[in-house]
């Protein structure tokens, strides 16, 4: 009787292990990025996985230079934009992207991304609050 119970437990454990392996194999890779370095240039960080690990690497007032280590891309963001505000980002290779003038107050605006792999980038803003620029990163 014991051997029958032991065999049933072994079969049950084997099936459970096999089922969990099937579930794990079907799960998508969460670490995958939708772009990398130069392939991110011109893309919206909010529509990629780049915003998931983004960090603010330089600031000037409300203006931030955001950087994604997994995507190796940077973009400009103003967390408290006002009407008439615009932001842009550029890198040392001459790539530049902007967000056209913000038409209402009280929200965040951000530029498209530029390649930041082994080069430096800088964020700019202009509008009713004057002009600002972050340091290079």
What are the pLDDT digits (tens) for 18-42? Answer: 444 433 333 344 444 589 999 999 9
User: How do residues 72-94 score in pLDDT, each as one tens digit?
Assistant: 999 999 988 888 888 999 999 98
| Cα–Cα dist 46/100, whole Å | 16
Mean pLDDT of the chain: 79
Count of C-beta atoms within a 10 Å radius of residue 42: 14
User: How do residues 122-135 score in pLDDT, each as one tens digit?
Assistant: 999 998 778 999 99
16 or 98, greater pLDDT: 98
Confidence of residue 101 (pLDDT cuts 50, 70, 90): low
- pTM (2 decimals)? 0.73
User: How do residues 102-117 score in pLDDT, each as one tens digit?
Assistant: 666 778 899 999 999 9
Nearest 5°: the CA angle 15, 19, 25 is 145
């Amino acid at each position: 009787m014991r051997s029958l119970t032991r065999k049933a437990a072994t079969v049950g454990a084997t099936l459970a292990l096999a089922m969990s392996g099937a579930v794990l194999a079907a799960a998508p890779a969460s670490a995958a990025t939708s772009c990398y370095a130069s392939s991110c240039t011109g893309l919206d960080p909010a529509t990629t996985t780049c915003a998931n690990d983004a960090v603010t690497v330089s600031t000037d007032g409300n203006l931030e230079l955001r950087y994604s280590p997994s995507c190796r891309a940077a973009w400009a963001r103003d967390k408290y934009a006002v009407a008439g505000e615009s932001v842009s980002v550029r890198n040392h290779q001459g790539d530049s992207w902007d967000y056209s003038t913000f038409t209402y107050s009280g929200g965040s605006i951000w530029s498209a991304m530029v390649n930041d792999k082994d080069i430096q980038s800088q964020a700019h803003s202009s509008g009713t609050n004057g002009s600002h620029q972050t340091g290079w990163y």
